[in-house]
Amino acid sequence: MKSKKLSRSGLLLAITIVLFLLMYVSGMLIFSDKGFAKPQMFLNLFISNAGLIVIGCGLTLVMITGGIDISVGSVTALICTVSAFMMENMGLSAVSALIASLFIGLLFGVVQGYLVSYLEIQPFIITLAGMFFARGMTAVVSTEMISIKNELFLKWAKTKIILPFGYTNKKGVYIEAYIYPTVVIALLTLVLIALMLKYTRFGRALYAIGGNAQSAVMMGLNVRRDKFKAYALDGFLTGLGGFLFCLNSCAGFVEQAKGLEMDAISAAVIGGTLLTGGVGGVVGTLFGVLIKGTIASLITTQGTLSSWWVRIALSALLCFFIVLQAVIGSVGSKKNRAKLV
Amino acid sequence: MKQKRFSWQRLVHARLFMPLVCLAVVLLANVIRTPDFFKISLNNGVLYGYLIDIINRSSELVILAVGMTLATAASGGQDISVGAVMAVSAAICCQILSGGEVSVTSLAAPIILAALAGVVAAALCGAFNGFLVAKLHIQPMVATLILYTAGRGIAQLVTRGQITYVRVDAYKVLGGYIGNCPIPTPVFVALIVVIIMAIILKKTALGLYLESVGNNGKASRLVGLNSALICFMAYVLCSILAGIAGLVASSRIYSADANNIGLNLEMDAILAVALGGNNLGGGSFNLTGSIIGAYTIQALTTTLYAMKVSADQLPVYKAIVIVIIVMLQSPIFRSLIAGMKHKRTVTVNEK
Amino acid sequence: MSQPVILTMKQISKAFPGVQALNQVDFCLRQGEIHALMGENGAGKSTLIKVLTGVYQMDQGAVWLEDRPVQIRSPQEALSLGISTVYQEVNLCPNLTVAENLYLGREPVKHGRIDWKESIRRAGALLNKLSIAVSPSAMLDECSLALQQMIAIARAVDMNCKILILDEPTSSLDDEEVAQLFALMRQLKQAGVGMIFVTHFLEQVYEISDRITVLRNGERVGEYDTSALPRLQLVAKMMGKDFNDLAVIQAAPKGQVDSTSPPVIEARGLGHSGTIKPFDLTIHKGEVVGLTGLLGSGRSETVRTIYGADRPDQGSLKVNGRPVKISQPLDAMKLGMAYLPEDRKKEGIIPELSVRENIILALQAKRGLFHLMSRKEMEEAADRYIELLQIKTPSRETPVKSLSGGNQQKVIIGRWLLTNPDYLILDEPTRGIDIGTKTEIQKLVLELAGQGKAITFISSEIEEMLRTCSRMAVLRDGAMVGELAGDQLTQAQIMQTIAGGKTVQEDK
Ligand SMILES: Nc1ncnc2c1ncn2[C@@H]1O[C@H](COP(=O)(O)OP(=O)(O)OP(=O)(O)O)[C@@H](O)[C@H]1O
Ligand SMILES: [Mg+2]
């Protein structure tokens, strides 16, 4: 009886987490001399990916409904550049930049959501247009790179939150582990979204829509409205995530966050969310982000590869991971099925 | 009677009518802004003009769109690695032609052989994608994400991080002109690809198989179709076409630029498929629609350049036009517009 | 005698491209009555229901609830007005659990969050009450079609509705489940719920309904009290001509079993670990062998192993006396087999493809990629089977998904007949098919057997099997537990074997 509950999404998530741990531990063993084993190394995964975690959460929501949003990377660039422009060139406060960021994200979400859910246009195309639009608007705002020097903003970005543990380095000095406020916000958002998916009617409706939209209509759900809300929420989270991204990079420029959408999508998929909808969750996406982050830091820690080998190694590891997951997943679900009968 | 005519109209036109209208509108928009848009002149025995430019420049996109249509139909997902595969095929071809040198003025190997090697490499990439999608059931966009990231790395590896130049006239033919022919070669390449594909679809059951597998894989298996093999073949074909497009692109600049050949073209190819009225969720497909879609995109780009829009801001206008086009194609939007008048009469009738 | 009217539909019209599905149809439902909606495949029954529940918007007409005019624009509104529906095709979400499907959109909420414990508990109680043997936390796509159907019914009846609509709820249920459903319907009737009931089983109509409305070609033929409309007249009203189904069948010749030549199918110890235990089965030319057993007893799995849809992992198979190895359906097809699957929505139709393409698909697959049938050949084949099976479609180029349920089934039957198989496996071929065509199909089966084809026939309706089969194998819990032939083929004997009675000697 119990084995039934671990079907598909649970199984995929379990595989992902185990593989992540395996990968991280082997990284610690191989690169222990290069500091990979330090706890701060682990926390840095969160620090450098706080924005991506939030963006991934939003994307996961629309992927669960069977949709997709590939505009997130460009919208992030737009948000960073607009924020930087507001603070540096217009002398506005960091608070107004934050509000503007959230507003831009929400606006994209609402417009894209309307077109996708009420006019039933394919989400890939709409968000592709969104991607072009945001990237182009970034260039309209500023073609130069703007570094942010706003005091309040930097305070938000770089206030260390000291954690009650640490490690002693080679010279015998105790170094405390720390995170930035961005990490707290990201994890808080993640928990909220996870709870929403699990414990609200809206959350469950998203799964139903992804499972079979037509059935969902016939079961009396307001599919269009819920889909619209999912995109709007996704947009808002992109706004928030974009701002967190900005806090991490402290700059805005046209080419920023290129390919971020692919990072977010693959993180969600690695975390067990299906592009066809109906299966997945944000906790998985978190692990997807961590896995991609670990792969990247493994390669930077290694440090001797030429630029093209970095690309190849990155994708080889990604490939290895995806294939392993697929193989284990299919074997696992086969066993599950046999057990049932 | 009226009923019948209405539905007939919808059946015949729904799929190709709107894409064609959109293309026409994009082209006509130029008449106002750039009056000499439709002028075609003969300079030095070669045709010039915006129209020629559009047809020439969109050749690679047309070739990609054909492959993307097949992959989409069979798997219900998109192959986002085609741009990178173009770079791989170009790199291998140029590297063989240059014999490992960075820049050469004479060939180290026959062009046919090198081109063939490039296409074979592309086919291998396709086999890799196809294996992941069809056999391991990995979602297409993620499966092809691997080569999307790795592809350009592999291409750089092949060219050792340099841009390999093949400054030989014979190699420029593919992206330039054949002898005294005034029409650019890429146009012919695209035409040949389209014709061959049309013949395949007409003479074999491939089209039916692809649609069937993409529509209901389980049922297709039970009627004796090897769903996995068919899906696999679609991806191989898609990559082979990307390889050919890569050769054309490389011949245009007589070099293999791993970082820029086919850059962002995968998105345009997917866009072409959708603008052609195809469902990105797989199943039934319409090749002609995709091809029209490809020309529309290039026409749009050329138009915007003709209107002196800066390259940085081009995407803004492109996005707006795309949204307008897909909205016009959306049946719901159309019935909304039609319904506005209709609704009024209905409520009046009731009261 | 006459209860108050709770639903009136007046002059309802609805057109789809190429067909007028409903033409000025009137319908009325009283409180606490069970109202059967009858008609041939494609008569417009489901369309009328979908118009009522807001899935489709009607072109013309009006709806009153009690004496209030209403406009129902979406299933959501229908629900909020107290109209609860079980649609013809199961409409649940495969990726959710049974409990979630039962309470989707109205999950029990406590302190602003869904109370999962309560939801599981309630679901368990509901399933228990209806004697549905499934765990509330099981995933829906692991449930058989019949279970899913029962779950859909459970969901609908749990809604506290005033009007309950059941569109062919019994097509995939066995007798016991039907009895349960009827008991439940009687309870609801006492509580004053008005019910619209669609079925092609005439016995069920006479057992449970109070009144009957007959549709034909999208028009209302009339409304009758069930007691005042004898069976033959009802059939005549539906078909628009006199017709005696039983006479037709009895007139058809039974096939001549040819046991001299090697058997068409000879399975020895064939099995698929995890689903069915090793079984022996021999089928000769001209023989119709039935497979029977309770739902989930492994009837479908048995034929799937023979056909290669599930690869057998033990035992051997001989076709026409020659040992063969079948590793995929195409191999089986090349050996002259054909398999009509049970679940037409999931495994049968290719929804977006046209009727023509759906019909020729199997033959085309058999011929291979490079031997594309000519357009003319395809059209002729499609037309032939549209004609033969009386498939009701606006044209042969209509996507098969927009056909009525029964007509989709006919398309798939046509698909397999076109391949001219020697051995035909029919898994619930008459599910959702109207009485006229059902008799035609039974006749066809006997004719095919008469032509020397071997046939395996699976049906939940024992009577239908008795009419067509010359021998029956009985399955229980994935194992073949007996074979009945000749005089043993009686309803009582079969029921006894299914239930595990001792009077039947196992094997001969
Ligand atoms: N979505 C649709 N698009 C186009 N035509 C449709 C659609 N749904 C139904 N039809 C057509 O409307 C007619 C009535 O179909 P309907 O499903 O109401 O029949 P039915 O009486 O329920 O038949 P069955 O007993 O087979 O279920 C059929 O001719 C069918 O082809
Ligand atoms: Mg029906």
On whether the CB atoms of residues A239 and A104 are closer than 8 A, the answer is: yes
* pLDDT tens track for B202-256: 999 999 999 999 999 999 999 999 999 999 999 999 999 999 999 999 999 999 9
* pLDDT tens track for B27-37: 888 777 777 77
CB-based contact, A274 to chain B, within 8 Å: yes
Would the CB of C199 count as within 6 Å of ligand 1?
no
Residue located nearest, by CA, to atom 22 of ligand 1? C46
Mean pLDDT of B100-126: 93
On whether the CB atoms of residues B238 and B84 are closer than 8 A, the answer is: no
CA of A92 to the centre of ligand 1 (A): 62
| Structure tokens, C397 | 């180029």
Would the CB of C408 count as within 6 Å of ligand 1?
no
Residue located nearest, by CA, to atom 12 of ligand 1? C21
Task: Using CB atoms, pick whichever of B136, B149, B280 lies closest to residue A326.
Answer: B136
CA of C403 to the centre of ligand 2 (A): 9
- Number of H-type helices and E-type strands within chain B: 15, 5
Residue located nearest, by CA, to atom 4 of ligand 1? C402
Predicted confidence (pLDDT) at residue B96 exceeds the cutoff of 60 = yes
Q: How far is C113 from chain A (nearest CA, A)?
A: 5
Q: How far is residue B167's CA from residue B255's CA, in Å, rounded to a whole number?
A: 8
Residue A39: its pLDDT value, please? Answer: 86
B35 assigned to some structural domain: no
Q: What is the distance of C-alpha C445 from the center of its chain?
A: 18
Chain-chain contact of B212 with C357 (C-beta, under 8 angstroms)? yes
| Architecture label for domain A4-32+39-330 | Orthogonal Bundle (1.10)
Stretch (H or E) spanning C113: strand C113-114
Would the CB of C410 count as within 6 Å of ligand 1?
no
Question: Closest ligand to C166 CA?
Answer: 2
Lowest average pLDDT, out of A173-177, C239-243, C327-331, goes to C239-243
Using CA coordinates, name the residue in chain C closest to B73: C352
Predicted confidence (pLDDT) at residue A294 exceeds the cutoff of 70 = yes
Task: Using CB atoms, pick whichever of B136, B270, B316 lies closest to residue A327.
Answer: B136
Q: Classify residue C306 as exposed, middle or buried by CB count within 10 Å of its CB (0-12, 13-18, 19+).
A: buried
Q: Distance of CA C4 to CAs A209, C1, C8, C25, C226, Å?
A: 38, 10, 11, 21, 18
Mutate to test the pocket of ligand 1, among C12, C13, C16 (most ligand atoms within 8 A of CB): C16
Residue B344: its pLDDT value, please? Answer: 44
Residue C253: its pLDDT value, please? Answer: 57
Stretch (H or E) spanning C474: strand C471-476
Q: Residue B300: give its domain's CATH number.
A: 1.10.3470
Predicted confidence (pLDDT) at residue C232 exceeds the cutoff of 90 = no
Question: Closest ligand to C407 CA?
Answer: 1
CB-based contact, B324 to chain C, within 8 Å: no
Predicted confidence (pLDDT) at residue B81 exceeds the cutoff of 50 = yes
Residues B343, B297 share a domain: no
* pLDDT tens track for C271-307: 888 778 889 999 998 899 999 888 778 888 899 999 9
Q: Give me the percent of chain B exceeding a pLDDT of 90.
A: 57
Predicted confidence (pLDDT) at residue C238 exceeds the cutoff of 70 = yes
Q: How far is residue C387's CA from residue C365's CA, in Å, rounded to a whole number?
A: 23
Predicted confidence (pLDDT) at residue A77 exceeds the cutoff of 60 = yes
Residue A235 confidence class, pLDDT cut points 50, 70, 90: very high
Predicted confidence (pLDDT) at residue A71 exceeds the cutoff of 90 = yes
Interface test with A, best of B88, B132, B149 (most A CBs within 10 A): B149
Residue A171: its pLDDT value, please? Answer: 79
Give residues with Cβ within 8 angstroms of C72, minimum separation 6. C52, C53, C54, C63, C78, C81, C83
Most confident region among A124-133, A291-300, C230-239 by mean pLDDT: A124-133
Residues B240, B332 share a domain: no
Residues of C in contact with A1 (CB under 8 A): 135, 137
Chain-chain contact of C93 with A1 (C-beta, under 8 angstroms)? no
Mean pLDDT of C474-496: 84
Residue B9: its pLDDT value, please? Answer: 52
Predicted confidence (pLDDT) at residue A3 exceeds the cutoff of 60 = no
Mutate to test the pocket of ligand 1, among C12, C13, C19 (most ligand atoms within 8 A of CB): C19
Residue B261 confidence class, pLDDT cut points 50, 70, 90: very high
Predicted confidence (pLDDT) at residue A78 exceeds the cutoff of 90 = yes
Would the CB of C417 count as within 6 Å of ligand 1?
no
Residues of A in contact with B68 (CB under 8 A): none
Residue C166: its pLDDT value, please? Answer: 94
Q: Give me the percent of chain A exceeding a pLDDT of 70.
A: 94
Chain pair A-C, CB pairs under 8 angstroms: 92
Residue C334 confidence class, pLDDT cut points 50, 70, 90: very high
Amino acid at B272: A
On whether the CB atoms of residues A149 and A86 are closer than 8 A, the answer is: no
Residue B288: its pLDDT value, please? Answer: 93
Q: Distance of CA A224 to CAs A69, B201, C14, C55, Å?
A: 17, 37, 24, 14
Residue C244: its pLDDT value, please? Answer: 66
Q: Classify residue A301 as exposed, middle or buried by CB count within 10 Å of its CB (0-12, 13-18, 19+).
A: middle
* Higher pLDDT, residue C254 or A251: A251
Residue A180: its pLDDT value, please? Answer: 94
Residue C506: its pLDDT value, please? Answer: 42
The structural domains of chain A, with segments of one domain joined by +, span 4-32+39-330
Q: How far is residue C132's CA from residue C130's CA, in Å, rounded to a whole number?
A: 6
Residues B344, B288 share a domain: no
B67 assigned to some structural domain: yes
Domain that holds residue B320: 314-351
Instruction: Please give the tally of structural domains in chain B.
Output: 2
Residue C245: its pLDDT value, please? Answer: 62
Mean pLDDT of A210-230: 94
Using CA coordinates, name the residue in chain B closest to C349: B219
CA of C402 to the centre of ligand 1 (A): 7
Mean pLDDT of A27-35: 83
Question: Closest ligand to C436 CA?
Answer: 1
Residue B12 confidence class, pLDDT cut points 50, 70, 90: very low
Residue C254: its pLDDT value, please? Answer: 61
CA of C18 to the centre of ligand 1 (A): 11
Q: Superfamily assignment of C244-336+422-508 in CATH?
A: P-loop containing nucleotide triphosphate hydrolases (3.40.50.300)
Indicate the average pLDDT of chain C. Answer: 88
Predicted confidence (pLDDT) at residue C90 exceeds the cutoff of 60 = yes
Residues B155, B226 share a domain: yes
Residue C256 confidence class, pLDDT cut points 50, 70, 90: low
Residue A215 confidence class, pLDDT cut points 50, 70, 90: very high
Predicted confidence (pLDDT) at residue B341 exceeds the cutoff of 60 = no
Residue located nearest, by CA, to atom 24 of ligand 1? C41
- B123-151 as b/e: b if 16+ CB within 10 A: bbbbebbbbbbbebebbbbbbbbbbbbbb
* pLDDT tens track for C372-426: 999 999 999 999 999 988 899 999 999 999 998 889 999 999 999 999 999 999 9
Residue B42: its pLDDT value, please? Answer: 84
Q: How far is residue B304's CA from residue C60's CA, in Å, rounded to a whole number?
A: 48
CA of C20 to the centre of ligand 1 (A): 10
Residue C130: its pLDDT value, please? Answer: 86
Chain-chain contact of A322 with B142 (C-beta, under 8 angstroms)? yes
Strand-pair partners of A95:
none
The structural domains of chain C, with segments of one domain joined by +, span 5-241, 244-336+422-508, 343-420
Residue C311 confidence class, pLDDT cut points 50, 70, 90: confident
Would the CB of C19 count as within 6 Å of ligand 1?
yes
CA of C428 to the centre of ligand 1 (A): 21
Residues of C in contact with B209 (CB under 8 A): 365, 369
Indicate the average pLDDT of chain A. Answer: 89
Residues B158, B212 share a domain: yes
Residue A65: its pLDDT value, please? Answer: 95
Using CA coordinates, name the residue in chain C closest to B215: C350
B231 assigned to some structural domain: yes
CB-based contact, C55 to chain A, within 8 Å: yes
Mean pLDDT of A233-253: 96
* pLDDT tens track for A257-267: 988 998 999 89
B101 assigned to some structural domain: yes
Task: Using CB atoms, pick whichever of B211, B219, B226 lies closest to residue C348.
Answer: B219
Interface test with C, best of A118, A218, A333 (most C CBs within 10 A): A218
Residue located nearest, by CA, to atom 19 of ligand 1? C42
* Topology, domain C5-241: Rossmann fold (3.40.50)
Sign of CA dihedral B110, B116, B117, B118: positive
Sign of CA dihedral C479, C483, C484, C485: positive
Residue A282 confidence class, pLDDT cut points 50, 70, 90: very high
Residues of C in contact with B203 (CB under 8 A): 370, 372
Q: How far apart are the first and last CA of chain C?
A: 58
Chain-chain contact of C95 with A279 (C-beta, under 8 angstroms)? yes
Residue A304: its pLDDT value, please? Answer: 79
